[in-house]
Amino acid sequence: MLDVRVFDEATKNAVYSKQTEESKTKGKSNCPLCAIGHAANNNKIWKLKEMDADHISAWSKGGATDTNNCQMLCKTHNRAKGNRYFYLSKCNRLGIKPLSARLQVRILSGPIKK
């Protein structure tokens, strides 16, 4: 049986709708990571095209590609989440201590060089 990594459009639409409705009632952003921040996007409601579907439990670690394991994140947070994993993996391979979480955010836009 083939395990699918990409969420289908129906799943993305369903999760987006549910997440957005819940966020509007709370007055928070529909991106869960924006909602817990203190920045201007704390209560921003993103459009579906401005978001990416994300596995809550990583697909690479056996997480399912279904509505129960899907969350919609703004594109910035979804990409930063992936880059953070890359960064921590690279630090681990090189045997160096990672920077603090605050400093990691500043370097996510570029590759880590040895």
Query: Tell me, what's the pLDDT at 93?
Result: 62
Q: How far apart, in whole angstroms, are the C-alpha atoms of residue 79 and residue 105? A: 11
- Please give the average pLDDT of every successive group of 10 residues along the chain, which has 114 residues: 80 97 96 85 95 89 91 90 59 60 42 43
By the 8 A CB rule, do 53 and 60 touch? no
pTM: 0.70
99 DSSP assignment: P
